[in-house]
Amino acid sequence: MPVRFKWLYLVFSLLSMLLVACQQGPSARFIGTDLTGTQFGQPLSLTDHTGKLRHMSDFKGKVVVMFFGYTHCPDVCPTTMTDLKKTMQLLGEKSNDVQVLFVTVDPERDTQAVLAQFVPGFDARFIGLRGTPAEVAANLSEYKVYAAKVSEPGKSGYTMDHSAGLYVFDKTGAPRVYEGYGEKPENIAHDLSLLL
C-alpha cells in the first residue's frame, strides 16, 4: 500500500473513532452506573408529605434523584440524605433544577406527618413520598428495590433491610444513572451536572 493511502487510512480510522466517541455522549462519562436505555420506573404514583398525589411526570424538566428509605433508619438513610444535601450545595444555582424524592419503604410508621418533619429537614425542596403498603410494594417491584422487615427488640419492634442506592432520571423522566450507597457528594454532583 502506498504511503499516502496509509495516511488516508489512518486519518479515516481516527475520524471514525472520534465519531463513535461523540455519539456516546455524556453518558459515557458518568461515575455511577449508566442506566441509559433501560425501561423501568413508570408507575410512580404516591402521596407526598403535604398530602398531594404525585406522578413521575410531575417532575419533567428537572433531574430527579430517587432514594428508597425510611425515617426510623439508624444510619444509611440519614447519611444518604445528608450526602444529597451536600450534593445540592455543591451544585449551587443548578440545584434548583434537581428534585430529590425520598420514597418510604415503611409506610406503616412513615405517616404524612412523620415524612413532613423528616424529609424537608435536610432540604426544604426535598419531597417525601408514601402510599398504602400495596402501592409502595408495586413501586419497589418496578424499581427493583429490596425491602423487608427485620424483627428487633425495643421500642420500634422492627427495622427495615432495604436497597440503598440512588436512581437518577434525566429531565425527560428517563432513567440514566444508578449511584451506589456511599457515593461521594462530589461524584453525585458530577453526574447530575452532566444531565443538567
Backbone angles phi, psi at 98, to 5 degrees: -120, 135
Give residue 113's pLDDT. Answer: 97
Nearest alpha-carbon partner for 156 in 110, 103, 115: 110
Instruction: State the average pLDDT over residues 29-33.
Output: 95
With left for phi above 0 and alpha for psi between -120 and 50, is residue 101 left, alpha or beta?
Answer: beta
| Average pLDDT of the chain, as a whole number | 85
Q: Is the predicted pLDDT of residue 99 greater than 90, yes or no?
A: yes
SS3 assignment, position 78: helix
Task: Pick the more confident residue, 163 or 70.
Answer: 70
Q: Distance between CA atoms of 185 and 149, rounded to whole angstroms? A: 29
Task: Pick the more confident residue, 4 or 11.
Answer: 4
Instruction: State the average pLDDT over residues 5-33.
Output: 51
How far, CA to CA in Å, does 173 sit from each of 84, 135, 150, 177? 19, 20, 33, 12
